[in-house]
Structure 1
């Protein structure tokens, strides 16, 4: 599995903790986030959109986005065709967004949750599998809409 990860200035600390987890788990990753020495405000779309595009085109299997709340990153990522980015702040939602929604990106907020919980969320999300079944039909409807309306 290959994971693309990024944060804006509001998610630098959490991004570093999640990267440590990815390394411990032996998961290949690439960091597309802002410079860790960045003190100035940066624009989250500049980080969310490249990660979403790389996941959508198959360069990476999954993506992890972090900003202050996770909201901006998730909104931006979901503008990319084929992306199912879920904003998550608890382990249960992380598990179900994989099982039910086949999410390929998660977004989290450093100002909302701590790094320990973020790492638990990431680990559960990476290990959870899409259950298919009735959920596959729902995703098919979303993909059909994207195909007919977002070209």
Structure 2
């Protein structure tokens, strides 16, 4: 007698709610994301179940949850430089897109952010500027090659 095994159906109806980023200094990171990338706080609160404060920040239809357990000692951010960062499993970067990468890059320079690379060609059609936020998290901004 043969039995036919069927795979269960995947979970349906999912959509992205937000990207969560654990930070050490919630207020400083809110200020940086507002001043440099134009995000605005849409909600602040506390997750009692995990003893963490959070701020939901939004810009351009994107939502990032900054979450912090104040007073806790955290592990350092993995600051492996590209391309070696791809050898470390896990999330690599927040990836954003712009129609004018040179202008975005110039604005980032004016904000004196840590730039990993600026307006670098990735392919015949795509360029990128990669930066780090104040706590070392990478943010990659794509734009069209001109």
**Same fold by TM (over 0.5)?**
no
Q: TM-score normalised to the size of structure 2?
A: 0.30
When normalised by structure 1's length, the TM-score is 0.29
Higher strand residue share: 2
Relative contact order higher in (CA < 8 Å, ≥ 6 apart): 1
Task: Name the structure with the higher helix share.
Answer: 1
Structure number with larger C-alpha Rg: 2
